[in-house]
């Protein structure tokens, strides 16, 4: 009898843990919006052809969305006179971008199948397509998310790891979302594309730290003055070698002490994740497969499904 009760409790727990994403499916829109995937990919490809950096921006939008109350499209909501969204949070202000691209995709999808596809799902697909178009892996995106009717400025300020994070902070933060240290390192590999503002790496390049290549620091100092308030928004590539191609050079940079952000370099600074970084340098295929798996797990963070949330008509505001 005791064993039966334990089995019932464990089953209930599994249902509770899995219920939040049990309704996600790779073929969720197969009947209701059969042209969804090519429609999204075409728009993402056009945006990247216009500006290669946009691919990284769309991936970052997805990350910043999922780390605040789950992957629910809340980051896309604009502020209004009676509503404060997440766009002005410290990790997002003057930083996250690509909202116009999501708007364009949403308009194209609405023309094909009005009122069917959520903005949260569009963002998940756009992130996948961005990675693949820039040379990275692809994966089957689990779909069926619905859009939040609210957002959390405090959640964005507190949940998204800052670029000054230590390794222990990163492992703890990712762990709180059910992501492992390997997931952390793999997802950080998204920094093989994109750029960062001077204000996010200034302290590191002027630190004279032991985990910083001096020649790399001098190169970055050329476009990022020491004085705060001067050149704060000047950009530098997160991957100095191939900033618009999704590959494993990010990890090669870390081994050579050329990580741009402190939160990058701590992944290879004598800590518990050094071996994972070395593995991704030696085996780029391992990085690609781990990245795809980690993106899927991140996409499963607390989605709204069923009758929760809504399908926004405009990604920037609730219906």
Residues 6+ apart with CB under 8 A from 253: 239, 240, 241, 259, 260, 264
64: annotated active-site residue: yes
Q: What Cα–Cα distance (Å) separates residue 292 from each residue in 22, 47, 100, 300?
A: 19, 22, 25, 13
263-288 in b/e burial notation, b at 16+ Cβ within 10 A? Answer: bbbbbbbeeebbebbeebbeeeeebb
| CA gap 175, 173 in Å, rounded | 5
Q: How far apart are the C-alpha atoms of 127 and 88, rounded to whole Å?
A: 22
Whether 294 and 128 have beta carbons less than 8 Å apart is answered as no
Return d(Cα 131, Cα 137) in angstroms, integer. 7
The helix (run of H) or strand (run of E) holding residue 124 is: helix 119-133
Token pair of 14, please? 């599994």
Q: Which of 64, 128, 191, 204 is catalytic?
A: 64
Q: Measured between alpha carbons, how far is 194 from 235 in angstroms, rounded to an integer?
A: 10
* 238/264 Cα distance (integer angstroms): 9
**Catalytic positions, written as ranges:** 64
């Amino acid at each position: 009898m005791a064993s039966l009760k334990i089995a019932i409790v464990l089953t209930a727990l599994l249902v509770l843990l899995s219920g939040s994403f049990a309704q996600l499916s790779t073929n969720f829109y197969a009947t209701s919006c059969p042209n969804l995937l090519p429609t999204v990919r075409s728009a993402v490809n056009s945006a990247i052809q216009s500006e290669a950096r946009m691919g990284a921006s769309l991936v970052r939008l997805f990350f910043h969305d999922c780390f605040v109350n789950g992957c629910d499209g809340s980051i896309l909501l604009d502020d209004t006179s009676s509503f404060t969204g997440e766009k002005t949070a410290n990790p997002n202000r003057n930083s996250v971008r690509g909202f116009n691209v999501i708007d364009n995709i949403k308009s194209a999808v609405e023309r094909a199948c009005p009122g069917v596809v959520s903005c949260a799902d569009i963002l998940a697909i756009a992130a996948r397509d961005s990675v693949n178009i820039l040379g990275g892996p692809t994966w089957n995106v689990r779909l069926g998310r619905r859009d939040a009717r609210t957002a959390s400025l405090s959640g964005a300020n507190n949940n998204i790891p800052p670029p000054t994070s230590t390794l222990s902070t990163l492992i703890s933060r990712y762990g709180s979302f059910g992501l492992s240290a390997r997931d952390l390192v793999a997802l950080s590999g998204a920094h093989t594309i994109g750029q960062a503002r001077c204000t996010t790496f200034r302290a590191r390049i002027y630190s004279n730290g032991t985990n910083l290549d001096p020649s790399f620091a001098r190169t970055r100092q050329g476009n990022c003055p020491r004085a705060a308030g001067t050149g704060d928004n000047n950009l530098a590539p997160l991957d100095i070698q191939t900033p618009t191609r999704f590959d494993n050079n990010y990890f090669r940079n870390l081994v050579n002490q050329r990580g741009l952000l402190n939160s990058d370099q701590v992944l290879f600074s004598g800590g518990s994740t050094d071996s994972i970084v070395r593995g991704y340098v030696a085996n780029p295929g391992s990085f690609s497969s781990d990245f795809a798996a980690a993106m899927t797990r991140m996409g499963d963070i607390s989605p709204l499904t069923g009758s929760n949330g809504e399908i926004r008509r405009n990604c920037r505001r609730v219906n």
